[in-house]
Amino acid sequence: MAQGTILPWLLILSDYCYNFLTKIAMKKHIDSIDSAILDRIRSGPQERVWMPTDFLDLGARSAVDQALSRNCRTNQISRAGRGAYHLPRHHPVLGPLGPSYDGLQDFIKRKANGSIFPTGAAAANALGLSDQVPMQTWHYTTGPNRLIRNGKSNIVLRHISPRFVSTKNSKSALVILALRWIGKRFVDDDIVAKLRRNLSSADRAALLDDAACAPSWIVDVFRRVALDSP
């Protein structure tokens, strides 16, 4: 075969080999970052909610986003909202579940330097001030408003001023949320008695230390709970 005829074929073969090897290298890179992300998620805390920035040491942001999407499509991980990923959770009756409360709390702290808190109704129930069991589909957050997928439903995070929940004692924040939900008109001697009975002596004393976070009428309730004898 003449040299002039061989050269074009060699060029075609060279291009084919280059493209073939490039595709193999790209696939290895894709498989590598997919596996690295999945390994990190599986070896981390079971309830952790991950964000793309947790994996930027493994690749560029665009590559990380694509790898997370691929792992979601194969059901290796679940997406709980924009930039929020976690290990799949399943309930035998309810079906697919979203992230746990603790995992969500940690995610909000890392993502928005904020925290999440129960609704006033849930806080009142937790403190024994109400028998109502709320079907809680939303929480307060000191971060921005946010929508989180929770299996087939959603959890709404609604912003609340940090003033009301930036307490030194976590129970104080619950009391503030519960009393705001109950309302000034309906906080009677029975409510005060229940708080005295259901809070530890340390939690009752902490109410006065956290008075700066509460409206004036709730501060009055704090004093009654902390200082009055049962």
Q: Residue 63 sits in a domain of what CATH number?
A: 1.10.10
Q: Answer whether residue 102 is part of any domain.
A: no
Dist CA 103 CA 45 (whole Å) = 9
pTM: 0.64
Q: What is the pLDDT of residues 75-91, one digit of tens each?
A: 999 998 888 999 999 88
* Of 22 and 217, more confident: 217
The SS3 assignment for 89 reads strand
Reported as a pLDDT band with limits 50, 70 and 90, residue 177 is very high
Per residue in 19-56, pLDDT tens?
Answer: 554 555 444 445 688 999 999 999 999 999 999 999 99
* Structural domain contains residue 173: yes
Residue with more model confidence, 185 or 91: 185
DSSP state letters, 117-160: E--HHHHHHHTTS--------EEEESS--EEEEETTEEEEEEE-
Domain boundary among 86, 106, 124: 86
Residues 157-162: what's their mean pLDDT? 89
Amino acid letter, residue 227: L
Do the domain assignments include residue 8? no
Residues 118 and 81 in one domain: no
Cα distances (angstroms) measured from residue 77 to each of 40, 98, 200: 12, 11, 41
CB atoms within 10 A of CB 209: 14
Residue 119 and residue 212 in one domain: yes
Structural domain boundaries, residue 156 = 114-227
At 76, list the tokens: 């290796």
- Only one residue has tokens 């040491």, namely 57
Cα–Cα dist 69/55, whole Å: 13
Length of the chain: 230
Tell me how many domains the chain contains: 2
Which pLDDT tens digit goes with each residue over 112-125?
A: 677 888 899 989 99
pLDDT at res. 29 = 47
Q: Which has more confidence, 104 or 26?
A: 104
Domain identity same for 55 and 125: no
User: Helices 61-73 & 3-43, crossing angle to 10 degrees?
Assistant: 70
Instruction: Please tell me the number of Cα atoms within 13 Å of 133 on its side-chain side.
Output: 0
Q: Which of 62-76, 128-142, 179-193 has the lowest mean pLDDT?
A: 128-142
Of 71-80, 152-161, 213-222, the one with minimum mean pLDDT is 152-161
Average pLDDT, the chain: 84
> Quick one: what percent of the chain has pLDDT higher than 90?
50
